[in-house]
């Protein structure tokens, strides 16, 4: 697909966006004799690498064939969170009766919701735009890039020679082989944000983060949504308790959830679209107006001339890299969704900071040392970092699990957000090995637990960290308190009682 398919033709906000991140008539500079660093792809991974290298004095060329800003700005984090914020506002308005207030006849104005999304996205675009990066001293080239040798890239009829290069071409939505899907037409995250009218009926294929987030949002905005997942539970990479809470929330918002269900075929188009689904040996028809495909991501590695550069790759897993994010060509590194298992904006950012050090300054920073949290922005949110209890058990690590329901957190009670929990996995000496948090603001709290895992902090450290009262993050301190209480064995209590008698 073309990058233009993700924009609304003639829309003033999308025209303003394109003027920043793929300006018409952009004049690229004449290439230098040799660049210190050539970066392929101007998504988060590429932008961070280019800005970081230029900031320390390196000569940098940045090549982008589509929209600068990549998925995050254009078809990922930014538009999706604008959509989710609108859907949450509608849902909150419908809950006003719980708080002693009234708002009759609450309904979403979908065209206005999407206009706001496009306006806010365009407002954020200059930070990722061509003009800004040119002002940083980066040579910006718009067009298809292709390696022509181990130290050269061709783009728009020009050759860019390099000392080092970074492949940061990202990933795209994976599309299943499903009879009739192409003929019926379908949406992905790359096209769904260009909608201007609400689909009356939406079928969502996929029970991962993107599928769950968008299924809930569209249901809250007024679509009749059916989510079809081949897995036994939603969010299969997260603990079962988290997936169960998200499933309950989606059902409460009106989403029909079909688990262990595989789409077999699609027939018709438009308002006559039918997805035939096989579930537990029974076939059923899901009638819809639009289909949203959210079954995973596929790395963008085709058409880059990687063979000419001596860079090994796998069409499914992406560019092959070592722990230093170096490819099979020692001059070439990779970062972001093109090579990482963690396909998150913040992971791409962290990996590119590492790449700049390793590629330009003989650094030995390892990707395996990164502690990467993640968050699914459903309502409630699901945030995770480090080891789950199952992962700790598989690794043979001695551990204990501390669970705290959000019903035990005062601020959650006062906010009416008691749906959720905090689960912390503690290892030897109470060291924090991992955590999962399910709450309305879990994403805002997981950073504290990420720091704890990264720095080797203990449950006692969590208990000793003062949280402002009342906040939902107080669940973290309370989990630490639970650890402290668990250490009060009968012998310890007896010893302390004896000590008190002597100090009276």
Axis-axis angle for helices 77-94, 110-124 (nearest 10): 140
- pLDDT by residue for the chain (504 residues), tens only, comes to 788 899 999 999 999 999 999 999 999 999 999 999 999 999 999 999 999 999 999 999 999 999 999 999 999 999 999 999 999 999 999 999 999 998 888 899 999 999 999 999 999 999 999 999 999 999 999 999 999 999 999 999 999 999 999 999 999 999 999 999 999 999 999 999 999 999 999 999 999 999 999 999 999 999 999 999 999 999 999 999 999 999 999 999 999 999 999 999 999 999 999 999 998 888 999 999 999 999 999 999 999 999 999 999 999 999 999 999 999 999 999 999 999 999 999 999 999 999 999 999 999 999 999 999 999 999 999 999 999 999 999 999 999 999 999 999 999 999 999 999 999 999 999 999 999 999 999 999 999 999 999 999 999 999 999 999 999 999 999 999 999 999 877 776 677 677 777 776
Q: What is the pTM assigned to this prediction?
A: 0.95
Query: 408: which residues sit within 8 A by CB, 6+ positions away?
Result: 475, 478
Query: 4: which residues sit within 8 A by CB, 6+ positions away?
Result: none
3-state SS string for 128-154:
HCHHHHHHCCCEEEECCEEEEECCEEE
Axis-axis angle for helices 240-252, 209-221 (nearest 10): 20
Q: How far is CA 336 from the centre of its chain?
A: 12
CA torsion through residues 10, 11, 16, 18, sign:
negative
Tell me how far apart the 2 most distant CA atoms of the chain are, in Å.
87
Listed in sequence order, the DSSP H helices in 194-309 are 209-221, 240-252, 306-309
Name the nearest CA neighbour of 465 among 453, 440, 448.
448
320 near 340, Cβ under 8 Å? no
Q: What are the C-alpha distances in Å from 211 to residues 1, 69, 187, 364?
A: 21, 22, 12, 37
Q: How far is CA 49 from the centre of its chain?
A: 19
Name the nearest CA neighbour of 439 among 460, 466, 467, 416.
416
Element (H, E) at 156: none
Pairing mode, strands 60-64 and 139-142: parallel
Please give the Cα distance from 7 to 388 (Å, whole number): 40
């Amino acid at each position: 697909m073309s990058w233009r398919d993700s924009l609304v033709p003639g829309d003033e906000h999308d025209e303003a966006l394109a003027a920043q991140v793929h300006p018409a008539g952009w004049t690229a500079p004449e290439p230098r004799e040799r660049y210190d660093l050539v970066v392929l792809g101007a998504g988060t991974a590429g932008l961070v690498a280019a800005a970081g290298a230029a900031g320390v004095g390196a000569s940098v060329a940045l090549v982008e064939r589509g929209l600068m800003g990549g998925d995050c700005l254009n078809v990922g984090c930014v538009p999706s969170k604008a959509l989710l914020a609108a859907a949450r506002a509608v849902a909150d308005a419908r809950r006003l009766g719980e708080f002693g207030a009234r708002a009759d006849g609450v309904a979403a104005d979908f065209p206005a919701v999407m206009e706001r999304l496009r306006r806010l996205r365009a407002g954020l675009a200059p930070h990722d735009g061509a003009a800004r990066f040119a002002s940083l001293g980066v040579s910006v080239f718009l067009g298809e890039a292709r390696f022509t040798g181990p130290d050269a890239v061709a783009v728009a009829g020009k050759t860019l020679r390099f000392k080092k290069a970074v492949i940061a071409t990202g990933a795209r939505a994976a599309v299943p082989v499903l009879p009739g899907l192409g003929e019926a037409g379908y949406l992905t995250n790359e096209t769904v944000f260009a909608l201007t009218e609400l689909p009356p009926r939406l079928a969502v294929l996929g029970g991962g983060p993107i599928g769950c987030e968008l299924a809930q949002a569209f249901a809250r905005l007024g679509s009749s949504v059916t989510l079809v997942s081949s897995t036994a539970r939603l969010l299969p990479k997260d603990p079962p308790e988290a997936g169960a809470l998200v499933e309950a929330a989606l059902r409460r918002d009106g989403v029909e959830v079909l688990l262990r269900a595989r789409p077999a075929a699609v027939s018709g188009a438009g308002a006559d679209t039918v997805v035939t689904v096989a579930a537990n040996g029974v076939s059923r028809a899901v009638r819809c107006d639009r289909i949203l495909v959210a079954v995973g991501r596929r790395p963008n590695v085709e058409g880059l001339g990687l063979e000419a550069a001596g860079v090994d790759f796998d069409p499914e897993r992406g560019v092959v890299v070592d722990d230093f994010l170096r490819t099979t060509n020692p001059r070439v590194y990779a970062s972001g969704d093109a090579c990482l298992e963690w396909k998150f904006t913040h992971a791409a950012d962290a990996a590119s900071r590492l790449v700049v050090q390793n590629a330009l300054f003989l650094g030995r920073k390892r990707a395996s040392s990164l502690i990467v949290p993640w968050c699914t922005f459903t309502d409630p949110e699901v945030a995770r970092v480090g080891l789950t209890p199952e992962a700790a058990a598989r690794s043979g690590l001695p551990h204990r699990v501390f669970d705290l329901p959000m019903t035990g957190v005062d601020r959650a009670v006062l906010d009416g957000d008691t749906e959720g929990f905090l689960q912390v996995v503690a290892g030897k000496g109470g060291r924090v090995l991992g955590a999962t948090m399910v709450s309305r603001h879990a994403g805002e709290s997981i950073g504290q637990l990420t720091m704890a895992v990264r720095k080797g902090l203990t449950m006692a450290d969590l208990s000793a960290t003062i949280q402002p009262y009342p906040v939902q993050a107080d669940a973290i301190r309370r989990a630490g308190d639970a650890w402290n209480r668990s250490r009060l064995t009968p012998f310890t209590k007896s010893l302390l009682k004896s000590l008190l008698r002597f100090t009276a």
